[in-house]
Amino acid sequence: MKVAIVHDWLTIYGGSESIVRIMHDFYPDAPIYTTVYDKNNMPEDFKKMDIRTSFIQKLPFAKKKYTSYLMFMPYAFEQFDLSDYDLVISSNTSCSKGVITGANTLHICYCNTPMRYGWDFYHEYVRPKNGFARFLIAWMMKGIRQWDRLSADRVDAFIANSNNVAKRIKKHYRRESKVIYPPVRTSMFKKSDTDEGYYLVVSRLVPYKRIDLVAEAFTKLGLPLKIIGDGSEYKNVASKAGPTVEMLGRVDDETVLKYMQGCHAFLFPGEEDFGITPIEAEACGKPVIALGKGGALETVEENKTGVFFAEQTVESVADAVERFKKIEFDGDYIRKHAEKFSEERFRKELREFFESEYEKFKNGQNVEDFE
């Protein structure tokens, strides 16, 4: 069986790239088709893979400003000739599912999210723009959104990374999907009974993550908070941070583990499609204080592995912290809950899905008849 893997871009290593790596473990001879590849920002083992890039790779500053070429991405993916493959697997957050495959090729899409800036978060992306720039982006996104909806019909079977994403696939694409939660390195994050009294955030510092709310809330409460991460919001978050809030910037995995194992609780204030870091904290036996929306509703059990706050406001975060302080949590239960999302479980479920769907496809059965 000839297999090809398709991914939006390989410019930085994160959760979706770890999924691509696992897919490639299943099919080590499979080439990876992508718009842009920055070998200096990816793990060493990617250099041994057969990575095939689009014409966007050769455009100015593409490795850093690849999202600026969004208008060209539908065309770029449609130019990949995948006619020789039996199975095409796309890992999608943007346009990769739009590749064209023939009648004898099964196309399975692992959807991390329908295109965020085209659908659910469209207004958040457009709102900061002014005047002609706002008009131009709105006009551009209308065409992208139409293409995104139409290209969903090219996928034979969808996998959603959460029930939250499955609902959005149903809403925007009118398609059913099989939910397979993404892999979490629970074996790396060992349970710890150490509690050094501080609260912890580990996150990219970008606007929608709303780390500024946590910094402001903990300054108001006078409680110790450590923030790990970097990004465009660093200065804004730092400006809200009082004497009890410590900005640690970007650190290595070993340091993240150390701080997770020593924290009193983990904070997760953004609305995410799924959210891996809360589960990593839970794998350490640590409870989570999270926004009660999106993927957190599937990874945090209220009053058992953490508590929710209802709104993205300083007052709501502060209220959740006060409620949290009155609850006793069982670290062993929290750890056991996290193990439901292990990488071993993901590998088993994903491989079984690929094999069963391909068998149905070969036999002329309906591949969307999920069990």
Concatenate the DSSP letters of all residues of 14-29 into one string: -HHHHHHHHHHHH-TT
Return the axis-axis angle of helices 131-151 and 163-173, rounded to nearest 10°. 90
Q: At 136, is the pLDDT very low, low, confident or very high (cuts 50, 70, 90)? A: confident
* pLDDT above 70: percentage of residues in the chain: 94
pTM as predicted: 0.84
Average pLDDT over residues 305-320: 97
Structure-token pair, residue 21 = 């790596």
Residue ranges in 45-90 assigned as alpha helix (H): 73-78
Q: What is the pLDDT of residue 123?
A: 64
Find the mean pLDDT for residues 118-127: 63
Residue type, position 272, single letter = E
Stretch 93-116: mean pLDDT: 94
Distance, in Å, from the CA atom of 85 to the CA atom of 81, rounded to the nearest integer, reads 9
Exposed/middle/buried for residue 259 (C-beta within 10 Å: 0-12, 13-18, 19+)? buried
pLDDT at 121: 64
Domains and CATH numbers, the chain: 3-183+343-362 (3.40.50.2000), 199-341 (3.40.50.2000)
CA 219, chain centre distance (Å):
29
Residue 129 has a pLDDT of: 62
> Is the pLDDT reported for residue 280 higher than 90?
yes
Tens digits of per-residue pLDDT, 27-63?
A: 999 999 999 999 998 999 999 999 999 999 999 998 9
- Tell me the longest C-alpha to C-alpha distance in the chain: 65
What confidence score (pLDDT) does residue 146 get? 92
**Among 139-153, 226-240, 337-351, where is mean pLDDT lowest?**
139-153
Q: What's residue 116's pLDDT?
A: 73
